[in-house]
Amino acid sequence: MKAGYPAAADGLRRDRAAIAADALEAAMAADPELPDRFDEAGLRLLQRDTEVLIERLAMCVSSNDSRWLAEYAEWIGPIFRRRRVSQWDAVRVCEAIREIVGPRLTAEESAAMGRSLDAAVAVFRGNGRLGGDTHKRNALLKWLYRGV
């Protein structure tokens, strides 16, 4: 776990609550409909999940290995479906984390963070295409396949 950038990972772990709050605010600014989809308890759960996502990101930065975050994205998918959280909302949160944390890191640390977040986003986008995700569907396709 020390093959990458453990000092940067310690900073992420130390500030994960503040980063999670800022990332959730940035995600809500990027998608104004996001707060309407969740009640207060749902937003608290999403913030807690964002803190865990940042912890996994710290593991990735510390080890310079993106599998920790990609595995977490794979594991959290069914839980998000049960809680009616769209995988695309998780993608927005990942992009908000990149926006918030990026300026705090050096170029090498930021590259390790970017690879990890890209791996998680790829998993979230892949799972978002599966049936059962709560994102908005294409209206034309919905109309075409309404009788199927």
- Calculate mean pLDDT across residues 103-125: 95
CB 94, CB 118: distance < 8 Å:
no
Spatial separation of the C-alpha atoms in residues 128 and 77, rounded to whole Å:
9
Greatest mean pLDDT among 1-10, 30-39, 51-60, 138-147: 51-60
User: Could you tell me the pTM of the whole model?
Assistant: 0.85
pLDDT, residue 58, reads 96
Worst-scoring range by mean pLDDT, 3-7, 50-54, 139-143?
139-143
pLDDT band for position 85 (50/70/90)?
confident
User: Measured between alpha carbons, how far is 73 from 91 in angstroms, rounded to an integer?
Assistant: 10
**Strand ranges for 1-148 from DSSP E:** none
pLDDT at 136: 65
Residue extents of the structural domains in the chain: 6-144
Which superfamily does 6-144 belong to?
Phycocyanins (1.10.490.20)
pLDDT grade, residue 148 (50/70/90)?
low
Cβ atoms within 10 Å, residue 94:
25
102-111 pLDDT, tens digit each? 999 999 999 9
Residue 5 has φ and ψ, to the nearest 5°, of -130, 80
Which residues fall within 8 angstroms of residue 76, CB to CB, at 6 or more apart?
A: 49, 53, 90
pLDDT of 146 reads 72
Dump pLDDT digits (tens) for 34-76. 899 899 999 999 999 999 999 999 999 999 999 999 999 999 9
